[in-house]
Amino acid sequence: MQQRYQIIINIIKEKKLCTAHDLDHVLRVYNLCKRLAEHEAEVDMNVLIPAALLHDIARIVEDDDSSGAVDHAVLGAEKAEGILERLGYEKEVIKGVKHCIIAHRFRSGYNPETIEAKILFDADKLDVIGAIGIARSFMVAGQHEEKLFREIPLEEYIKENVGKNGRIKDNSKHAINLEFELKLKKIPHRLYTQKAKEIAFRRISYMEEFFSTLRDEVNGET
């Protein structure tokens, strides 16, 4: 089994990956999945581990698609199926992995139904909050020429720069603090497992303090 996992990791290494969804992110999600699984009953690790390793296999395709038509979760499930078939995985395991991958993001419209899918969903969301979430947000901001900080009423900003599908219309008008207000601070309430929620609330508390300090420093108040 470990040999299969190493082959999957090698496949990921060979792929072009975007900055915030690189192999480091994949391995952090993998480790979080293992941690969360320790607090749940009857988790099929044969499904969870390959799902964690392959969950962003199509992310770069979505990021390179300016039309917004590509959903990396849907496409990733298809790509994962081909990889796992070549590695000789059983059909039921592949089915479970595909469900985990297709249900791991908010906007795909698929709810996680298995404990493995819920764990992957939670682990992936935990990696966008806390200190690591702030670091990743700055990586993405630099990549898309976003602003360091922007003060604007949230409702006004949503009308100005957020599409119906939740995608940002103009990244140059976006800012990390707005990403936090729009999406990241809501994450703890959307998670499925109790352990993930505990971790998430601690991480959000840290982010609240960070953005409060950032606002004060931007305005020269501290």
Q: Contact at 8 Å (CB) between 43 and 78?
A: no
Confidence at residue 16, expressed as pLDDT on a 0 to 100 scale: 63
Confidence at residue 105, expressed as pLDDT on a 0 to 100 scale: 84
Q: Contact at 8 Å (CB) between 100 and 116?
A: yes
Task: Count other C-beta atoms under 10 Å from residue 135's C-beta.
Answer: 10
- Sequence letter at residue 175: A
Quote helix, strand, coil % in the chain, to nearest 5.
70, 0, 30
Q: Is the pLDDT of residue 41 over 90?
A: yes
Confidence at residue 108, expressed as pLDDT on a 0 to 100 scale: 65
| Partners of 147 in the β-ladder | 175
Half-sphere exposure of residue 94: CA atoms within 13 angstroms, side-chain side: 14
Confidence at residue 218, expressed as pLDDT on a 0 to 100 scale: 95
Query: Which one is predicted more confidently, 21 or 134?
Result: 134
- Give the separation between CA 204 and CA 200, rounded to whole angstroms: 6
Please enumerate in sequence order all residues whose Cβ is within 8 A of that of 115, keeping only pairs 6 or more positions apart, or say none: 40, 41, 42, 43
Q: Is the pLDDT of residue 17 over 80?
A: no
pLDDT tens, position by position, 147-183: 899 999 999 999 999 987 778 899 899 999 999 999 9
Percent of the chain with pLDDT over 90: 71
- Give the separation between CA 147 and CA 16, rounded to whole angstroms: 26
Q: Contact at 8 Å (CB) between 88 and 43?
A: no
Domains of the chain: 1-111 (1.10.3210.10), 128-222 (1.20.58.1910)
Query: Which one is predicted more confidently, 59 or 97?
Result: 97
User: What's the pTM value of the predicted model, to 2 decimals?
Assistant: 0.91
Confidence at residue 205, expressed as pLDDT on a 0 to 100 scale: 98
Highest mean pLDDT: which of 9-23, 63-77, 207-221? Answer: 207-221
